[in-house]
Amino acid sequence: MRVSKRPKGAIAAGHPETVRAAQITLEEGGNAFDAVMAAMVASTVCEPVLSSMGGGGFLMACPVGKAPVVYDFFAQTPGTHAPEEGCDFSPVVCDFGPTQQEFHIGRAAIAVPGAIKGLFEVVGDLGRMPVSRVVEPAVALARAGLPVNAMQARIFQVVGPIYMATPESRALFASKKDPARLIGEGEHFANIGFADAMEAIAREGQALFYKGEISAAIDTDCRNGGALRRRDLEAYRIFRRDPLRVAYRGASFITNPPPSSGGILVAFALALLDEATLTKTGFGSSAHLELLAKVMKLTNQARLEAGFSDKGAEDAGQALLDSELLHKYRTSILGVPASRRGTTQISVVDGDGNAAALTISNGEGSGYIVPETGIMLNNMLGEEDINPRGFHQWLADTRMSSMMAPSLLMQSDKRITALGSGGSNRIRTAILQVLINMVDFKMPLQAAVSAPRIHLEGGRLDIEFGFEPAIGDGLARSFEDVKIWDEQNLFFGGVHGVGYEPDTHNLWAAGDERRNGCTAILS
């Protein structure tokens, strides 16, 4: 959506109340960084499975006139492992409909959370408002409550075994109509404990969580089968990182750098595609999708060869962009005949042009609620995707890798787009395809987000509904395992983005329908 007069800001996120928190903040004089953090806190109330102050994430911040910077407030492994005897770590199976997936929960699944420290340090560095004002929309929302919408009810159904696993979680998330099941669509959800806790944390400071009464309660509880200790919380710190930059067809892609893997994998795929002529293939053509699927396959292979599974993530990242490796994979594609896991994204830009893209995750949640706070801590140590060494084999006191990749696209006409995605391993392919749609196929942001996608992983090519039926039949001849979906689905990620044009001060926003995308432009 384009507007002619200079507006106050644009917002894209996965829930109307998440957007509303950012909107309130911008209208009260906050900037994009105040607004994105206000939205993050609100998302933990209205998107409680995908987002939690007991989790962590990344912010790509681009202040006007300054270099972009990534705030890494993702999870950190504890300093010691949980004792084998009495280890609180159990598998649960969640039903996604077309497939099932096993996760692990319990106190031994909890890594050191960074969201609260991220809130304080981002607002302190870049914002205009005090934290106490930034959290006001979320506190009011948690206290008043809201009806559960269809998307959140569906997610609750998927993760039911986790959120019904402990008495404390059941007390917060079970249906008041039928306590044997989780809260459902249209039912009222409030979190008074969270409202009280966030007011206290905002008033007393982040030390209440990391060094005070809350950290003491976590330490006491996690001594019963967990690894997390008060010393881990006290030692946790934010990393401010220089982002990864990759040139692509005259544009600059700026993304989350190692030790996280998502951004570097998108960058690698773009490097493979940079010498291809996608515009001649036509969007959705067999040539377009075959090339895209091959790039995904080779990116998966390069990920293994570069050593993300068995060496330091930063060393692996350097190897992945090594010129010889790029040449090897480029020659595998170009000039050769064809031979036939929960996250949420928030993007904000203000009228001055400050841009912010934030991705946050709680894993699926551990089932453990910090006493009297309404905050469920993460289960990052129980996530197979980010534990390639195997469970209980993680390196102690180490920042964990993630597929999350909040990013910027700076185009030659000065337009800047802030975007990112939820969707576990599909994050990188969702972002990649939106970028290609914008740069190669010249689509507006919303069209680029809404266009159908593919995803290749583990030998299976998933093709989303929306392409010509004959395309799927043709790809089935080139790939042995092909699944053609009969709908657009949240499996393929959820890209929420905003854009800014400095010469005209025009703003626009795009929400991904797959994950209940919502937008607002403030005039």
Q: Could you tell me if 255 and 220 lie in one domain?
A: no
Count Cβ neighbours within 10 Å for each residue of 343-361 and write b for 16 or more, e otherwise.
Answer: bbbbbbbbbbbbbbbbbbb
Domain extent at residue 152: 17-57+74-237+364-386
Instruction: Let me know if 331 is a catalytic residue.
Output: no
* Number of helical H runs and strand E runs in the chain: 19, 22
Residue at 264 is within a domain: yes
Domain count of the fold of the chain: 2
pLDDT at position 336 = 35
Handedness of CA 496, 144, 122, 78 (dihedral sign): negative
Q: Which residues contact 188 (CB under 8 A, 6 or more apart)?
A: 145, 146, 147, 148, 176
Q: Could you tell me if 214 and 293 lie in one domain?
A: no
Q: Could you tell me if 325 and 373 lie in one domain?
A: no
DSSP state of 359: E
Q: Could you tell me if 200 and 150 lie in one domain?
A: yes
The domain spanning residue 307 has which CATH number? 3.60.20.40
Q: Could you tell me if 222 and 264 lie in one domain?
A: no
Instruction: Give the whole-angstrom CA distance, residue 458 versus residue 301.
Output: 10
pLDDT at position 335 = 41
Residue at 213 is within a domain: yes
Q: Which residues contact 77 (CB under 8 A, 6 or more apart)?
A: 111, 112, 381, 394, 395, 396, 397, 398, 400
Q: Could you tell me if 270 and 194 lie in one domain?
A: no
Q: pLDDT of the chain along its 523 residues, tens only?
A: 444 467 899 999 999 999 999 999 999 999 999 999 999 999 999 999 999 999 999 999 999 999 999 999 999 999 999 988 899 999 988 766 666 678 899 999 999 999 999 999 999 999 999 999 999 999 999 999 999 999 999 889 888 889 999 999 999 999 999 999 999 999 999 999 999 999 999 999 999 999 999 999 999 999 999 999 999 999 999 999 999 999 999 999 999 988 888 888 899 899 889 878 887 888 999 889 999 998 998 888 776 666 555 455 566 666 666 766 556 555 554 443 222 257 899 999 999 999 999 999 998 899 999 999 999 999 999 876 556 667 788 888 988 888 899 999 999 888 999 999 998 788 999 999 999 999 999 999 999 999 999 999 888 999 999 999 888 777 877 888 998 899 998 889 999 999 999 989 999 999 999 999 999 999 8
496 DSSP β-pair partners: 420
Q: Which position among 44, 255, 299, 343 bears the catalytic label?
A: 343
Q: Could you tell me if 325 and 312 lie in one domain?
A: yes
Q: Could you tell me if 294 and 372 lie in one domain?
A: no
pTM: 0.93
Residue at 116 is within a domain: yes
354 close to 35: Cβ distance less than 8 angstroms: no
Residue at 382 is within a domain: yes
Q: Could you tell me if 252 and 216 lie in one domain?
A: no
Residue at 107 is within a domain: yes
pLDDT at position 432 = 97
Q: Could you tell me if 81 and 153 lie in one domain?
A: yes
Q: Could you tell me if 205 and 254 lie in one domain?
A: no
